[in-house]
Structures are given as structure tokens and as C-alpha cells.
Amino acid sequence: MFYLRVFFLMAVTSPLFLIISCNNNTGTLNTEPTESDHFTFSLYDGLPNSITTSIINEMNNNYDRILNDLNVPSLQKTKIEIWDDEAHFQNDMKRDLGVNYPGSSGYIYGLNCIRLLNRGNIAHNAVHEFAHIVSLNVNNNFANNPRWFWEAVATYESGEFNNPKNISYLAAGNYPTIAELNSNFNSGNYKIYEVGYLLSEYIIDTWSKISYVNMIKQNANIESVLGITTQQFEAGWKNFVMTKYFAGG
């Protein structure tokens, strides 16, 4: 199943303002927030505290690695809000983002708040959104800027690998352009979630993890960071994938 992810970054004047904005939600807050070393949870719509166990385990398993990958030495505690009622989840999204994204399962609100709908593999979805949070600590102007690399980083860091042999358009030799991958998700083009891991892998394997982080810092300025044109990058990525995953049949 595909899970659409969206991002909204509000103007934050103080940490207190951010916390208040996160808690003013439609669903009924079950109990006092549950906390772990790195995360604070707020649960709505009758969700039990036990739902946080798998999320905490998955996040802890990836926490240090993601921070190390992106060269972020430390991070303030991240707030995670979870709804069980999709109508409540969508109502609060509409109120705070000004738009609804039907079918979405999570998004970032503010600088350190993850909002999730209790659907699918919620622990994995939380790791994807957390990768977005960490990348903002590398460059606070990185959110969807550009979208293709914003999602490429999150899909790579959350381990969302899709075998290219199982992606029909790649198997047919039809590789999407950066412009296509950068199109707004409202256009219905979700290919970046399928190939984002491969794009990050190409950068890391061909250049380095330092270049990968510098791409975040410089908003995916391919020519400045990697020293090639976008067209050369696209051709090189295609050759990388074909050589690594399709050579030899």
C-alpha cells in the first residue's frame, strides 16, 4: 500500500508555541503524554499506550544511525502524535495545513512534531517522518526544497528499498527525470517513493556520504555539489541502476 506523506513547516517563534500548536487537536487526548528517552507521544481516539512500543523500538533501532548518516550530533526530543480516527486526522490537517490529502498517513508539523494516522506499518512510517525531522536539522530550508531529494533522503534513511526489477517502468528502461520526480504529489505522481532509495544510493556509492549530506545542505544543487549537470546525473543514475541490478539478467 502506498502512504502519501506531506510536510508543513509553520513559523515558530518559540518552543512553547510549537508545543501548544501540536496539542490543539480534534481527537480526544487519551492520557498524559507517554515519553521515552527521545520521544514524547500524544495518543488520540482511544488508542492504547501499548501502540507506542513497536514505534519506540523501531525508532530506537534507527535513531543513532540516521543522526550519524546526516552528521547531526544531537536532537531535541521529538513529539509524535497519533490518531486512530481518519476523519479527526484529516480535520486537523485541514485546519493546520489549509488542505486535505486523502490517503495520507503522516506528515511533519513544525520543527519537531510528527503526526501519524494509525494505518499500515506505523512504526516504519514514523521512521520515515523522523528522517525528515533530522534532515531539517541539517538544513532548515530543506522541506520539499526540492521535493525529489527531500523524499529520496527519507526513503533511503528509512530503508524503503524497492527492487528495480519489480518496478515496471525501470524494468522497461523508462527512468523518470528529476523534473518528473519533483512534481507536486497532488499531480498523482508518486514515483519518488519508489525510486528515492536508489537515487540516494547512487549519490553515496558514486560520490560519498559527505556529498549526500552536502546535497541536503545545498538543496540538491547537483552541479555545485556533484560537479555534473542534471542531465548527466540522470544518465549516470540510470547506468548505475542498470549495472547494479539488471546486469547479467
The residues near 85 (Cβ < 8 Å, ≥ 6 apart) are: 27, 44, 45
For the domain with range 4-138, which CATH number is right: 3.40.30.160, 3.40.50.150, 3.30.70.370, 3.40.50.2300?
A: 3.40.30.160
CB-based contact 233:226 (threshold 8 Å): yes
**DSSP H/E element including 20:** helix 15-23
Domain boundaries of the chain, sorted by first residue = 4-138, 147-246
- Write out the three cell numbers for 143: 522541506
pLDDT value of residue 10: 36
Tens digit of each residue's pLDDT (9 = 90 or more) over 160-191 = 999 999 999 999 999 999 999 998 765 667 89
Q: Kindly state the greatest CA–CA separation across the chain.
A: 57
Count how many Cα atoms sit within 13 Å of the Cα of residue 133 in the half-sphere of its side chain.
Answer: 30
CB-based contact 146:81 (threshold 8 Å): no
Least Cα distance to 175 among 159, 157, 191, 193 occurs for 191
pTM of the model: 0.88
117: which strand partners?
83
The mean pLDDT of 74-80, rounded to a whole number, is 96
Least Cα distance to 199 among 212, 210, 183 occurs for 212
The dihedrals phi and psi of 186, each to the nearest 5 degrees, come to -65, -15
Least Cα distance to 145 among 63, 203, 215 occurs for 215
CA 73/CA 164 separation, integer angstroms: 33
Tens digit of each residue's pLDDT (9 = 90 or more) over 18-76 = 333 455 676 667 666 688 999 999 999 999 999 999 999 999 999 999 999 999 999 99
CA pseudo-torsion sign 100, 158, 213, 170:
negative
